[in-house]
Structure 1
Amino acid sequence: MSDLECLARYPFGEPTGLGIHPHHSACQSLGGLTRIRPPHGDDAWLVTRHEDIRAVLADRRFSRAVAVARDEPRLAAVPLQTSVLSLDPPEHTSVRRLLAGALGFNGPRVAELRGTAQERCAHLIDGMIAQGAPADLAEHFAIPLTGEITCELLGVPFADRELFRDGLEALASTLPEEVVGPRISALYAYIDELCAAGRAEAGDDVLGELTRAREGDTRLSDDGFFTEVISDLLLAGYYNTSTQLLNAVYLLLTHPDQLRLLEHDPELMPRAVEELLRYAPFPAHVTFARYATEDVEIGGTHVRAGEAVLVALPAGNFDEAAFENPEKLDLTRSKNTHLSFGHGLHHCLGGPLVRMLFQTALSALLERLPDLRLAVPESELPWQDSLELRRLQQLPVTWRQPRP
């Protein structure tokens, strides 16, 4: 038996920048699934191949609801709280339908939000120009852009961000429970107060829509569940989207040949965004666990009923069987079936919004800030530790004479 086959501890090592640990690729080459022992919870099967990940995520014999009653395998000390991410059909189907209707990420709604995003990008870039280079693209662009749009959409006051930012980071943290627990409790207490106020006067935002829907849905009528749904939406829209937008800009600035390509051919933007989403690992390692409800064969491995699996979406995005030269950032890539929004029942509802925000934000930056580049050596960029996702604390940039 090879050393790789004997590997049990997961993650395989500390992440570096946006790099994927090479053992993921080695697991793919061995075939089948890999048995692992994560920092917390049950042992699990690690799924690394693109085809196998899609199979697991589309197979209803793998359950999220079972995980609620188990010590599910995970990187974070605190288990995933009960929310729509912990439901199976038919409960999942009804709640997700309500969320999809409230979010309204269809063509007309996203087109409407595009106008708002363009206005916000112009305003934020004006502020950066007025302040002068260098500027931190995290604090002065990515976070306020995604934060303001998400908060307006959900009905959460952006002015309250100091009350919930710390809690959102705690939800994504791998620090001990005694460290993150009080921060998460404070976040839930804030959202509880917000929901209580929303019941008195439900607006036209997502919080208002879901408040009105609570009367007809037994799941949403549960106060704890409702709070966790809102926190998940806030985490995804505010924290996760700003993280990935920063990662996308970082990738462009550290791949100048691809940046020049996009500058010279703006029509490439939609395809470029898909490649940036593929290349930046999200989450950094694995998504939440699923349990087999009966014996299942996946990739030549027999998964027994009651065993857990963890899918490594970033590994699937770098699978040579699915992508030609996956290690190369190629903004012209035409075949790009990336897994960054997941797959199957729990695929991300916010995909259309994220794509629009990326296209709008990157276009605005490249149009207004010529010769956009890092203001410090790449080795000096600060990455946040102890998170389930890779996040830059700051992204200082500079530029030459800006365009009006």
Structure 2
Amino acid sequence: MFDREPLARYPFDEPAGLGVHPAHSDCRSRGGLTRVRPPHGDDAWLVTRHEDIRAVLADRRFSRAVAVTRDEPRTAAVPLQTSVLALDPPDHTDVRRQVAGALGFNGPRIAGLRDASRERCARLIDGMLAHGAPLDLAEHFATPLSGEITCELLGVPFADRELFRDGLEALASTLPQEVVGPRIAAIYAYVDELCAARRVEAGDDVLGVLTRARDDAARLSDDSFFTELISDLLLAGYYNTSTQFLNAVYLLLTHPEQLRRLRDDPGLMPRAVEELLRYAPFPAHVTFARYATEDVHVGGTLVRAGEAVLAALPSGNFDRTVFEDPAKLDLSRSKNPHLSFGHGLHHCLGGPLVRMLFQIALSALLDRLPDLRLAVPEHELPWQPGLELRRLVRLPVTWGPLPG
């Protein structure tokens, strides 16, 4: 099927920190799409330009459901099987409506979460001050903040985190299936038990609301689908959010002139959060594959029916036809239509929560710890390999007067 140009291995290289490989820029400048061979699954067309990414993600001629019937191109060893991320309308429309209603990210719900987030930030920073510097911001702030908020919202006991934390990492892993398979099976077993208990006593949290909806929604009544859906929601809120928050703090602490601007002008915070979300690659390389259900032209390239495309969201976020001087972190950037929450049918429902949480948490850190800084040289910060995310293993920070 692919016979038009030579294949390129993708990802182009192992990521270094939060850098986006320059080969993406080369692809954008050539125009059209680039044929690639990922580590697993079918060959695909790589979509790198902002305009083309938006077009693909919004075009219903590109199907996620077909991917379940194929060996979809991917960086992870284990493909999605039954998640909402593998549905097309009308099934996708029905399930997404149920999930959106359960999350309830409207004015009242977000207002309540905002108050809870402020309280948790204050308590966690109190704990940091009591512990004393230096400490790991991941362990003492980012992970418990996103973890507690997510677990309370979903109805998953935060006290059980030792039972599901390794499984969440496995869901985001690019390690071999024999390594991650048992850990994924373990988290699915945990969620199965949790869901069975909720059949008896549902509650008013997301898991309870969706449990009550199972008898009225065909896809939610499928046990495997429901387990993977809840696991994906837990992964997004607990693991992905803490990962991106650490990346945001890392960017601030390694761009002192931008950090100074934000400290001097707290009103920049909403724009700053959007820029931090744009700049930190999410996911590390590409989002989930789509398959063309008919011949489609994208950016001057003919994608034939049955061929797969991979949208490189981080590449789109560095497209200089959309973002002025995209390689520069600019917290005052006014035009910022980034793609970090995706686009189209499958765009992330958690965007309002992430934006709110980042603004509150960063404001709290800068207010209570105005001299927050790295506790080790930047080159000593450990990045975790084998993930579909760019994640720091830990972020050692300190505060207080400089020595001497």
- Is the TM-score greater than 0.5? yes
Offset of residue 8 of structure 1: 1.2
Give the whole-Å Cα distance in 1 for the aligned partners of 2:57 and 2:309: 10
How big is the shift at 1:107? 1.8
Cross-structure match for 1:129: 129
SS state at 1:202 partner:
coil
Residue 6 of structure 1 deviates from its aligned partner by 4.5
| Alpha-carbon distance between aligned partners in 2 of 1:74 and 1:82, rounded to the nearest angstrom | 16
1:117 is matched with 117
Instruction: Give secondary structure in 1 for the equivalent of 2:336.
Output: coil
Q: Deviations over 1:126-156 (max 9, x none)?
A: 0000010011100000000000000000000
Provide the residue aligned with 1:33 in structure 2. Answer: 33
CA RMSD of aligned residues (A): 0.7
Matched AA of 1:182:
P
2:109 aligned with 1:75, yes or no?
A: no
Distance in 1, matches of 2:177 and 2:17, equals: 25
Q: 1:4-403, aligned counterparts within 5 Å? A: 6=6, 8-400=8-400
| Unaligned segments of structure 2, at least 5 residues | none
Q: What is the distance in 2 between the residues matched to 1:135 and 1:314?
A: 30
Amino acid at match of 1:367: D
SS in 1 for 2:148: helix
In structure 1, the residue corresponding to 2:39 is in which secondary structure?
coil
State the shift of 1:370 in Å: 1.8
CA shift, 1:90, in A, is: 0.3
Runs of 4+, deviation exceeding 4 Å: none
Match of 1:146, SS state, is helix
Matched to 2:128, the amino acid is M
Task: Please give the alpha-carbon distance, in whole angstroms, between the structure 1 residues aligned to 2:131 and 2:18.
Answer: 30
Cα distance in structure 2, aligned partners of 1:356 and 1:310: 29
SS in 2 for 1:220: helix
Distance in 2 (CA, whole Å) between partners of 1:138 and 1:161 is 15
**C-alpha distance in 2 between matches for 1:203 and 1:7:** 52
Secondary structure class of the residue paired with 2:397: strand
CA shift digits 1:250-291 (9 cap, x unpaired): 000000000000000001000000000000000000011000
Give a deviation string over 1:15-42, Cα, whole Å, max 9, x none.
0000000000000001100000000000
Scaled by the length of structure 2, what TM-score is found?
0.98
Partner-residue secondary structure (3-state), 2:119: helix
Q: Secondary structure at the match of 2:221?
A: coil
Q: What amino acid maps onto 1:178 in structure 2?
A: E
Offset, 1:81: 2.7
Counterparts of 2:37 and 2:218 in 1: how far apart (Å)? 37
C-alpha displacement at 1:400, in angstroms?
A: 1.1
Give the letter aligned to residue 379 of structure 2: S
The CA distance in 2 between the partners of 1:322 and 1:300, in whole Å, is 19
- Partners in 1 of 2:232 and 2:131 — Cα distance? 34
- Percent identity, aligned pairs only, is 83
Report the alpha carbon displacement of residue 7 of structure 1 after superposing the two structures with TM.
5.2
Q: Taking structure 1 as the reference length, what is the TM-score of the superposition?
A: 0.98
SS of the aligned residue for 1:237 comes to helix
For residues 158-207 of structure 1, give each alpha carbon's deviation from its aligned partner in whole angstroms, at most 9, with x where no partner exists: 00001001000000000000000000000000000000001100001000
